[in-house]
Structure formats: C-alpha cells, structure tokens
Amino acid sequence: MAQRIQQRSYGGPEVLELVDVPEPDPRDLAEGEVLVRVHAAGVNPVDTQTRRGGGVSGLMGGFPFTVGWDVAGTVAALGPGAGGGSNGLAVGSRVFAFSRFPEQAAAYADFAVLRESELALVPPSMSDAQAGGLPLAGLTAWQDLVDIAAVQPGQRVLIHGGGGGVGHLAVQIAHDLGAYVIATASAGKCDWVASLGADEVLDYTRVDVVAGLRNRPVDVVLDTVSGPMGPPSVACAAPGGTVIELLGVSEETKAAAQESGVNAVYHAVHPDGGQLQHLADMVAGGRLAVDVSEEYPLARAADAHRAVESGRTRGKLVLRP
C-alpha cells in the first residue's frame, strides 16, 4: 500500500486526511507519463486556497481530491514513449516538477504521475527538500521577471515579500539578471534577504516604502503580496514601468496604473520543464539556492497549511512522504 493526503470536503486544514491507497500500477501510465516515488512535495499558498474551495478547486474533478503540484523524487517507472532522450531520464533518475497545474497532480502522496515534458533533472548538489520547494515558486519568479517584465541588466526591480517562497527566489533571479534589486521584508528577514543578493532591503513594518522610492522609482515591481499592495506598488513604478500582481489586478490598481502610465499585469504560472531545467542549472552553478525553512511528514500536512496561512513563513515549506 501507499499513502496520500486527501480531502472529502472544503474547509480548514483539518479536512486534510492521510489515507492508504493501492500503489499505482505502471501499466496504467499514459504516453509521456512518468511514475515518481515522491521524496518531497512543496507546499504553496494555492494548495491552501484550493483546500478551502478557492484557488483551482473548480478543476479538481470532485471529492475526494489531493492538492499539491510540486514534486521531487526518483523515477519508479516510465510510461510509453518516456525516457531514453538526450537528458538520460531513466528509472532511478532524480527528478522534480511543477506538474499538471491547474489540474490535479496529487503531489501530497508517496507516488505521483508526472508528465515528462514538465519535469527536470535534480542537480546532485540539491537536496530533495530543496528540489521539492523550487518548482512552482521558482517558475513564477522566472516567468514574471523574464517572460513578462523582460528585466534587463541595470534596471531597478522592487520585490515585495522578499522573504517568501516566490520572493526569495525572485531576489536571486533578478540579481542574476543584473538588476539593481530592492526588496521588502520584516525586520527579522532583512539581513537574510540582503545576503541573497538584494542591493537594498526595506523593512516595510518600519519605513514608508512608497515615500522612500518617490524620487527614485523602479522599472519593475514584482508584488508577491498583492491585494491592498497594488496601488502602492504602482506608486513605486516609473512611467512605462511594469507592476506584476500575483493575485490579480484590482480595479483600484488598474485605475492607478492607467493614471500614472504604468503597465499593471497578472500572470498565472504554468508548468515548463525547459525553464525548470534552466533553474536547476542555476542551482548547480551556485547562482540560485532554495531556502527550506521547515519540513513536515506527510501526516502533518495540516500543520504545514496552518503555517503557510499565517503569511509569515520564510522561504519554502515541504512535506516529506
């Protein structure tokens, strides 16, 4: 038997239950699918939102369902057409992925079925926990800074929430792109965020960030806090600049952006094995590191959700099946 977390209703963290299920049969794998023994599953805010009935709950296909989209593990079996390519993917390979989103990937489990096109090989220097924490948050930071904002060397980039899952990776990626990086964080995380490559870290609990940047606006704002932070984020951007809101662009933010000639956008992260391999190469080259602040056994998924819902965690949390 294998185990997984499932829920039979929407609700608080207590709806997450650990259940026994039969081990997946490799003969059920479809074209291009890969069966992975999960060693770490990243926990993300969309997991908690979906558990409550928001997020992507409409695409879960009814109860019971299992949340989680970040997987790191070893290949247990290859489906038809999978493996044998130039990357050497084979049974036993260490892989990781942000898979199947926004459909169900059921990552909170001993086994997960991933798509080969969405996975990447884990560099030897990277732990399972770090690999489990990277995919969704890392791809969000990469797609927002590179695909959407097209950050150029020398540009000024403001990252709200520099101590969070997306934020701590975005600080490192923006620094690696050659940007001048300004991040916001609370006092206890400021020194650490600076050590990741931020040129300035503003303790948002003590300083007025908008006032501080009024005479030196930025080219790009990655607002991982979003919601009420929208209009102040627009106020920090230069005319022609870009503000990326991770939870959607409110009417208020849209109006503020229009008035000041700023481009305010929302982007939903999508799986991309090629981009994830690029992030893996950055890790291997010492240009990107994933901070895992806490690891939980699968049975304590509810505690991991409580921590994420506090909004105060540092870096990433992962489950260890």
**Binding footprint of ligand NAP on the chain (CB under 6 A):** 44-46, 137, 140, 160-161, 163-167, 184-186, 189, 204, 224-226, 246-247, 268-269, 308, 311-314
Residue with tokens 């904002």: 149
Q: Work out the number of other CB atoms within 10 angstroms of the CB of residue 87.
A: 15
Q: Which residue is nearest to ligand NAP (CB)?
A: 164
d(CA 211, CA 310): 28
In the complex, minimum distance from the CB of residue 53 to ligand NAP, in angstroms, rounded to a whole number? 15
Q: Work out the number of other CB atoms within 10 angstroms of the CB of residue 271.
A: 22
d(CA 100, CA 24): 17
Smaller CB separation from ligand NAP, 161 or 230: 161
> Is 156 in a helix, a strand, or coil?
strand
Smaller CB separation from ligand NAP, 123 or 138: 138
Task: Please name which of 119, 129, 130, 125 lies closest in space to residue 93, comparing C-alpha atoms.
Answer: 119
d(CA 141, CA 290): 13
In the complex, minimum distance from the CB of residue 60 to ligand NAP, in angstroms, rounded to a whole number? 17
Smaller CB separation from ligand NAP, 24 or 165: 165
Q: β-strands 156-160, 180-185: how paired?
A: parallel
Asked if omega into 239 is within 30° of 0 (cis), the reply is no
Smaller CB separation from ligand NAP, 7 or 313: 313
In the complex, minimum distance from the CB of residue 163 to ligand NAP, in angstroms, rounded to a whole number? 4
In the complex, minimum distance from the CB of residue 103 to ligand NAP, in angstroms, rounded to a whole number? 15
d(CA 34, CA 277): 17
Smaller CB separation from ligand NAP, 247 or 289: 247
In the complex, minimum distance from the CB of residue 299 to ligand NAP, in angstroms, rounded to a whole number? 22
Task: Please name which of 101, 103, 81, 109 lies closest in space to residue 24, comparing C-alpha atoms.
Answer: 109
Smaller CB separation from ligand NAP, 49 or 117: 49
In the complex, minimum distance from the CB of residue 231 to ligand NAP, in angstroms, rounded to a whole number? 13
